[in-house]
Amino acid sequence: MGSDHREYENLIGPIEDQMIRSVWRIARDADDADDAFQQALETIWKRLERIRRHPNPRALILRICVNAAYDVLRKRARRLRREVLDAIPDALPDTSPSATDRIAAREGHSEILNAISRLPRSQAQAVLMRFVQELPYCEIAQALGCSEATARRHIANARVRLQEMLGHLTARRSQEVRES
């Protein structure tokens, strides 16, 4: 095999599955996942030089995937909010995030994703890399270009915010566990 196959095999080959899984698990929609994946690959292409020199190129690639999917997520959340407002033009009694979230939550897990989309970018990326890609803290830190302590803090802060937004889910889960 010539050297022409080496770079793809080194950089992308071992994490193909992780890239696909992470984008799908965040986007949860075939078209959105496709858009996010295309965007991620375009970013990887543009930053190939930097990726090659990164201390952990694969972690950086996974971060780019998470970031692209996160952007899709935020776009979708904004679109949903606009749809809510358009659907109830006369009433307008309650346009608070909780109302839009409830509508967003009509589809499966979108409530959680919607909550993540409300997190600051670094926190959202850290949470997604941790819980979707299951990366260890040291790799999350390398991908984000911060210390491991900072990566841990991003996740701890994100958990606090998510607890505030999704507390009812954890309460329900606790009850389910107790009942079983």
Partner 1 sequence: MNPRKNMPEIKDMPDMEEVLRTSLNEKVPAEVEARLRNRLAAFRQRMEQQELRREKENPIMSILRMAYTTKLGRLCAAAVMLAVIILALGLFPWPHTSNLAFADVVRQIQALRTLTCNFTGTVEVEEGEPAVTTKGKSMWMTPGRSRNEIVTDIPEPAMHMEMVQIVDAVEGRSLGLMPSEKKAIIIRLEGQTPEMQRNLARSIVDALEELRDGTETPLGTRDIASRKATGFHVEKSGVVCEAWVDPETGLPIEVEMKTKMFGNSTITYTDFVFNPPLDESLFSLTPPEGYTLMDTPKAVDLSPPTEQDLLAMFQQLREVFQQLRESGGESFPQGLFPKECNMNSCLEVIKQAVKEKEAAAKPQEKLPPEKVMERVKAMTETMTKTMMALMTKVTRGTMFVQTLKPENDFHYVGAGVRFGESEKPVCWWKPDGFKSYRVIYGDLSVRDVMPDNLPAAK
The residues binding partner 1 (CB under 8 A) are 3-5, 7-8, 12, 16, 19-21, 23-26, 28, 30, 33-34, 37-38, 41, 44-45, 48-50, 52-53, 109, 112-113, 127-128, 131-132, 156-157, 159-160, 162-163, 166-167, 169-170, 173-174, 177
With CA atoms as reference, report the closest residue to 113 among 156, 141, 71, 65: 71
Instruction: Report in angstroms how near the CB of residue 5 gets to partner 1 at its nearest.
Output: 7
- Identify which of residues 23 and 144 has a Cβ nearer to partner 1 in the complex: 23
Least separation in angstroms between residue 81's CB and partner 1 is 21
Structure tokens at 92: 């307008």
Angstrom distance (rounded) from CA 7 to CA 73: 30
- Amino acid sitting at position 73: L
Contacts of 56 (CB under 8 A, 6+ apart): 139, 142, 143
Task: Work out how close the CB of 90 gets to partner 1 at its nearest, in angstroms, rounded to a whole number.
Answer: 35
CB 90 within 8 A of CB 171: no
Task: Select 49 or 86, whichever has its Cβ closest to partner 1.
Answer: 49
